[in-house]
Amino acid sequence: MFSSRLPAHYAPNRLTEAARERRAEGRPVIDLTESNPTRAGFDYPPDLLAPLSAVSALRYAPSPLGLMETRRAVAAEYARQGLEVPAERIVLDASTSDGYSLLFKLLADAGDEVLVPRPSYPLFDHLTRLDLVVPRPYHLDLHGSWSIDFSSVERALTPRTRAVLVVSPNNPTGTFISAAEMDRLAALCAPRGIAIIADEVFADYELEPGASRRAGRAVSRRDVLSFALGGLSKSVGLPQVKLGWIAVAGPDALVEAALDRLELVCDTYLAVSTPVQAAAAELLDRGAAVRSQIAARVATNYRELMSLSPLAPSCGVLRSDGGWYAVMHVPSFEPEEDLAVRLLTTEGVLTHPGYFFDFPRESFLVFSLLPPEASFSDGVTRVLRHFASSAAPA
């Protein structure tokens, strides 16, 4: 009766189940997987969402690509990052996930393929399958820091490849795609008629000084059809408000053709509410106060993680250039899932095992850098002490 786009089974994994049980028993959990900024103790101005009740939003004037004043406000966000993007080339959507779906509809027929980075954001499996697109992995290699394994990109390309996805900085590895990598990707994609989709939702959150300046940005491409994704969810910590955007770049004729088609796709759904569009400029402006709190928090937690890591010489924190996550490699005494369940049950700390993100091998743990500083430090210390005091099980 049901579509094969959806999984057949829905049982929660062991870690989710263990966390649910522990919470139901009222036992404390230090949640180092928390990625919802609205639950991480930031000081949101109580009237931050007041602009959503603007009188102008009482009038509905559907505009498929979004209200021009809102697209201008997004263009101003790019200008803040030192990037020039014409408002006419910005398309509004309800979230980044919605943006992926619009772009898959624009670029792919059922069974067409998109290349997705591994390790990366676990939602890609669902996002692609729900639009009948086939995800084909390419690899990020770890040599001190992560970089694109271009031979794996070339191996993954087929005549059905419609787009290459990059996440910059990546969730969870924290790497920005470098300008040289972006050039190389463009040189592979442009002659084959393949688009680049760059998820830049974490672009504002630099952890290593200078990393974002060295990044290759999709909106600057003139040689290959490119789409950059962003949104309020990360840029001002408002995932519940549901506003994202796609900035289109590339050869003028392709950009125009893509915008014509996106207009039809967006007109079919008209998913972005008028109140959020009317409020966007002010939310972006006032939300800067939230962004700076988040930026300070993730930077502090990242430094704390680095400074605590010598507590367990068998563990190592990987360099993270930006974003909300950090990765630690840990000894492989047991499968990652067993380890994550053990850390929860013995230390009371919830972490993400690397396999959630398709790391190439075990064992890695992923930490969200969003939790309040004291509980982040407490949680990380417990994890490191666990490794400092544990030997391989007999």
Ligand X SMILES: Cc1ncc(COP(=O)(O)O)c(C=O)c1O
Interface residues with ligand X (CB under 6 A)? 35, 95-97, 121, 167, 171, 199, 201, 231, 233, 239, 244
What's the min distance (Å) between Cβ of 313 and ligand X?
31
Q: Which two tokens stand for residue 155?
A: 């191996």
Question: Is the Cβ–Cβ distance between 362 and 354 less than 8 Å?
Answer: yes
Residue 247 to residue 227: CA distance in whole angstroms = 6
What's the min distance (Å) between Cβ of 97 and ligand X?
4
What's the min distance (Å) between Cβ of 369 and ligand X?
13
What's the min distance (Å) between Cβ of 25 and ligand X?
28
For ligand X, the closer CB: 127 or 188? 127
For ligand X, the closer CB: 138 or 387? 138
For ligand X, the closer CB: 199 or 321? 199
Residue 244 to residue 217: CA distance in whole angstroms = 17
For ligand X, the closer CB: 35 or 128? 35
CA-based end-to-end distance of the chain: 49
What's the min distance (Å) between Cβ of 200 and ligand X?
9
Residue 385 to residue 309: CA distance in whole angstroms = 10
For ligand X, the closer CB: 196 or 384? 196
What's the min distance (Å) between Cβ of 324 and ligand X?
8
Q: Strand ranges (DSSP E) for the chain?
A: 30-31, 90-93, 113-118, 134-143, 145-148, 161-167, 195-199, 226-231, 244-249, 316-317, 325-329, 349-350, 352-353, 364-368
What's the min distance (Å) between Cβ of 55 and ligand X?
27
For ligand X, the closer CB: 19 or 92? 92
For ligand X, the closer CB: 70 or 96? 96
| Maximum Cα–Cα distance across the chain | 70
Tell me the DSSP string of 110-175: TT-EEEEEES--TTHHHHHHHTT-EEEEEEEEEESEEEE-HHHHHHH--TTEEEEEEESS-TTT-P
Tell me the DSSP string of 287-327: THHHHHHHHHHHHHHHHHHHHHGGGSTT-EEPP--BSSEEE
